[in-house]
A and B are shown apart, each in its own frame.
Chain A
Amino acid sequence: MSKLQIGAQMYSVRNHCQTAEDLRDTLKMLKIMGYNICQLSGYNRAIAPEVVRDILAETQMKCVCTHIGYNEMEEDLDKVIAMHKTIGCDYPGIGGLPMEYRNPEGFVEFAKKASKIADKLADNGLHFIYHNHAFEFEKLWPVGKNGLELLMENSSANFQFELDVFWVQMGGGNPLDWIEKVRGRMDICHFKEMNGCRENKGVMAPIGMGNMNWKAIMDKCDDIGVKYALIEQDNAVEQGSMDCMWISYKNLVKLGGRF
């Protein structure tokens, strides 16, 4: 059985997270399926942290990480810290790099700025995580490196990566190679399946219904000491999102995944 624990990225089921009642029912249903941990993202942020805390307690689900806007961290980090303390979550994360930093100088500048935030979060017992897409894999010419490498090289050790293996694959990288590359800098990984491509975009699917080698990916994550992996399927809402989460759960359990 895998050492890492697998959970649900709630963004995958965001259509069922827009009221406090729905959020509670959805978490309860995930709990019944076999999930024990989740990532909060895509839910209605108007639901107060205290209410979220109570829902998590009631459903016995643990929120291991979040995705929030980078601007929130820049504008009021204390509020971010307080929110995470309230819901009992140690890994505040950002879902994507703001547009203005998506260039060679921007990657370096962002790495430095976000490192300060990451350091301050660390002082408060929290860990900053960065979620990638494929644009970070554009090799910058003539630098000869890509954005993710620039981020790694120019950030503090408190700046952690939450590699999304689907987007690594879309960027032309081998997920196993890149998991190795972030050794020591990744407690949390994103699992997302790729099943062929249409109109030049990889098609997302429930885990096991595509072509990625999940056994090898889980083994590699265990090898570098990843603690949690969250299943994210952006297009699940179009296919019956709870069904998708169930299929992903069943397929990962079959491969020895621990939930």
Chain B
Amino acid sequence: MSELYTGYAPLGSLLDAFGVWDKGKLEMVLSIDGLREAGYLKEEIPMSELQIGLQLYSVRDRCQDKDDMLACLKELKAVGYNVVQLAGHSADITPEMIKAMMDESGLNALSIHGSYDRLKDDFDAYIKDLKTIGVKSIGTGMPGDLRTTPEGVMEFIKQINKIVPKLEDNGIHYGYHNHAFEFERFFPVGKNAMELMLENCVPEMKFELDLFWVQRGGANPIDMLRKFDGRMFTTHIKDMNGSKDSVATIAAVGKGNLNFAQILPVAAECGSQYVFIEQDNAPASGNSVEEVAFSMNTLKGLGFKF
């Protein structure tokens, strides 16, 4: 990675370096070509092995209709994305349609956020769907009724321990996607749901750590990646920004305070192969593709591969 970018706030230091604050120039600065032209990038940036992609939930406003979704996927490919994780698209869009759209747009649907109920109760039919799309991993969270007690979490562990080996037999990894509730310690157990899962889940089970929610739960993302060393295939990121009412808010990568230059190499070191950008509030900006392009440019500027 270029040492120019290891500073705390990539955007802040970019702006400092260029001394420009107006929006036109800002856009130029934030494109890779613009950076290269301005002599800010070295000829060759040593790339991380990690590949970064997009969780399509970030652009779900564009995934409610087949034609719009195809157009959106093409825009994402044109912007520079290559791999995506499915989520948030309309239920009317079938696995076959998705496969065709991916082929046409040239994107790789590497992973999906799927239905826990179907994994549990409709496994064989669901596997067929997953294979039709061709995903290599599936992620879910924990059912709401099991979250609030240690007994509930142990029940989830019992269930998922049966599902994960079956998925692996079909060549698909399972990645547990956390929020912040998993970091609330149960008393008097003294452990939180993440710790219970790490200790009691089958070793094939992977964890798709969402580092925003790790931070929100009070833990340090870097500590947590190390704790889950070797148990990861994919990782989720979004930036965290402060807000006027002192509630942490989701932001495009580079518009908040998380130090991805420091965090992502640790994710790679601990075995994660793919990182997906998931910006839940991107549709609210009115142009979700522009938001996720911003995130991409920030991370490309830090030397990460898409």
Check if A and B associate: yes
Given contact pairs A142-B23, A200-B247, A170 touches B219 in the complex (Cβ within 8 A): no
Q: Are A193 and B8 in contact (CB under 8 A)?
A: no
Q: Is B257 engaged at the interface, CB distance under 8 Å to the other chain?
A: yes
Apart from A172-B242, A200-B247, A212-B218, list 5 A-B contacts with CB within 8 A.
Answer: A135-B243, A139-B242, A172-B256, A173-B257, A201-B247
Q: Are A146 and B184 in contact (CB under 8 A)?
A: no
Q: Which of B221, B255, B257 contacts A171 (CB 8 A)?
A: B257
Q: Is A184 engaged at the interface, CB distance under 8 Å to the other chain?
A: no
How many chain A residues touch B (CB < 8 A): the figure is 45
When each residue 133-176 of chain A gets 1 if its CB lies under 8 Å from chain B and 0 otherwise, what string results?
11111110111111101000000000000000011011111111
Alpha-carbon separation in the docked complex, A139 to B258 (Å): 11
Q: Are A144 and B218 in contact (CB under 8 A)?
A: no
Q: Is A210 engaged at the interface, CB distance under 8 Å to the other chain?
A: yes
Q: Is B134 engaged at the interface, CB distance under 8 Å to the other chain?
A: no
Collect the chain A residues with CB atoms within 8 Å of residue B241's CB: 137-139, 171-172
Given contact pairs A134-B247, A135-B242, A211-B192, A145 touches B12 in the complex (Cβ within 8 A): yes
Q: Are A144 and B257 in contact (CB under 8 A)?
A: no
Q: Is B196 engaged at the interface, CB distance under 8 Å to the other chain?
A: no
Q: Are A197 and B185 in contact (CB under 8 A)?
A: no
Q: Are A144 and B8 in contact (CB under 8 A)?
A: no
Q: Is A196 engaged at the interface, CB distance under 8 Å to the other chain?
A: yes
Alpha-carbon separation in the docked complex, A136 to B244 (Å): 8
Alpha-carbon separation in the docked complex, A193 to B183 (Å): 12
Collect the chain A residues with CB atoms within 8 Å of residue B275's CB: none
Collect the chain B residues with CB atoms within 8 Å of residue A170's CB: 216, 242, 246-248
Q: Which of B26, B215, B222, B262 contacts A172 (CB 8 A)?
A: B215
Q: Are A210 and B242 in contact (CB under 8 A)?
A: no
Q: Is A52 engaged at the interface, CB distance under 8 Å to the other chain?
A: no
Alpha-carbon separation in the docked complex, A144 to B22 (Å): 11
Q: Are A211 and B218 in contact (CB under 8 A)?
A: yes
Collect the chain A residues with CB atoms within 8 Å of residue B282's CB: none
A-B contact pairs, 5 of them (CB 8 A): A102-B244, A167-B246, A172-B258, A198-B184, A210-B183
Q: Are B217 and A196 in contact (CB under 8 A)?
A: yes
B245: min CB distance to chain A, Å? 7
Residue of A nearest to B12 (CB): A144
B197: min CB distance to chain A, Å? 15
Q: Is A80 engaged at the interface, CB distance under 8 Å to the other chain?
A: no
Q: Are B21 and A143 in contact (CB under 8 A)?
A: yes
Collect the chain B residues with CB atoms within 8 Å of residue A19's CB: none
Q: Is A60 engaged at the interface, CB distance under 8 Å to the other chain?
A: no
Collect the chain B residues with CB atoms within 8 Å of residue A136's CB: 242
Residue of B nearest to A103 (CB): B244
B27: min CB distance to chain A, Å? 11
Residue of B nearest to A133 (CB): B246
Q: Are B218 and A177 in contact (CB under 8 A)?
A: no
Q: From DSSP, what is the main secondary structure of chain A's interface residues?
A: mixed
Q: Is B220 engaged at the interface, CB distance under 8 Å to the other chain?
A: yes
Residue of B nearest to A210 (CB): B218
Collect the chain B residues with CB atoms within 8 Å of residue A124's CB: none
When each residue 181-213 of chain B gets 1 if its CB lies under 8 Å from chain A and 0 otherwise, what string results?
111110100001000000000000000000000
Given contact pairs A144-B15, A210-B218, A196 touches B246 in the complex (Cβ within 8 A): no
Q: Are B256 and A196 in contact (CB under 8 A)?
A: no
Q: Are B242 and A181 in contact (CB under 8 A)?
A: no
When each residue 16-30 of chain B gets 1 if its CB lies under 8 Å from chain A and 0 otherwise, what string results?
000001110010000
Given contact pairs A137-B241, A144-B15, A194 touches B218 in the complex (Cβ within 8 A): yes
A152: min CB distance to chain B, Å? 12
Q: Are B255 and A141 in contact (CB under 8 A)?
A: yes
When each residue 197-209 of chain A gets 1 if its CB lies under 8 Å from chain B and 0 otherwise, what string results?
1101111010001
Alpha-carbon separation in the docked complex, A137 to B245 (Å): 11
Q: Which of A133, A138, A172 has the most CB of B within 10 A?
A: A172
Alpha-carbon separation in the docked complex, A133 to B248 (Å): 11
Alpha-carbon separation in the docked complex, A205 to B248 (Å): 18
A219: min CB distance to chain B, Å? 13
Q: Are A171 and B181 in contact (CB under 8 A)?
A: no
B2: min CB distance to chain A, Å? 19
Q: Are A146 and B218 in contact (CB under 8 A)?
A: no
A121: min CB distance to chain B, Å? 26
Q: Which of A134, A135, A195 contacts B185 (CB 8 A)?
A: A195
Collect the chain A residues with CB atoms within 8 Å of residue B256's CB: 139, 172
Collect the chain B residues with CB atoms within 8 Å of residue A216's CB: 220, 223
Q: Are B185 and A139 in contact (CB under 8 A)?
A: no
Within 8 A of A (CB), among B1-45: 8-9, 11-12, 14-15, 21-23, 26
